[in-house]
Amino acid sequence: MDALDFAGAAERRLDRTENALGALAKLVEATRRRAGLSAVVVSDATGMLLAGAGAHRLCEELAAWAPLVGRGADNDTVPSFLDSFEGRTRSRRFAIDGFEITVSFCGPSADQSDELDAVSAGCSRILKLG
């Protein structure tokens, strides 16, 4: 670990919070900056924004679209705005204690699966009950 990595790790340890939503906010903002993304969002199955980093309107939009992405109608073959939106985003759905959570990335480097893995693991750690 070089000096810069050590300084960043030490700063994160000093800036911890016991508040789950505060911890999620810090997680998504750190990921957005590190990965050079326009937005990083954590939302629930209804499209409610739980935590977001980036322009507020884009975060709200990502959260609202998350339940719809990948769940198009079987008979819908006409391209839509959702197809364009999906092209610049990446999402991952997973369950934590029976609740569906979606992590969504938007931006030129949204294909970073290692960052999606890291945010998903962080969400699981932060939101795990008991």
Tens digit of pLDDT for each residue in 52-91?
Answer: 999 999 999 999 988 887 655 444 554 444 444 555 788 8
Give the residue among 47, 53, 2 at the shortest CA–CA distance from 27. 53
Degrees, nearest 5: CA angle 116-35-50: 55
pTM: 0.75
Q: Domain segments of the chain: what residues?
A: 20-127
- What is the third-level CATH fold of 20-127? Beta-Lactamase (3.30.450)
Tokens of residue 33, six digits: 């900056």
pLDDT value for 112 = 77
- The one-letter code for the residue type at 127 is L
- Rounded-to-integer distance, Cα 100 and Cα 127, Å: 11
pLDDT for residue 27 is more than 70: yes
Mean pLDDT rounded to a whole number for the chain: 79
Percent of the chain with pLDDT over 90: 46
pLDDT at 91: 87
- Interatomic CA distance for residues 4 and 2, integer angstroms: 6
Give the list of residues 6+ apart from residue 82 with CB closer than 8 angstroms, or none.
65, 68, 69, 72
The tokens describing 59, both together, are 């975060």
Of residues 11 and 109, the one with the higher pLDDT is: 109
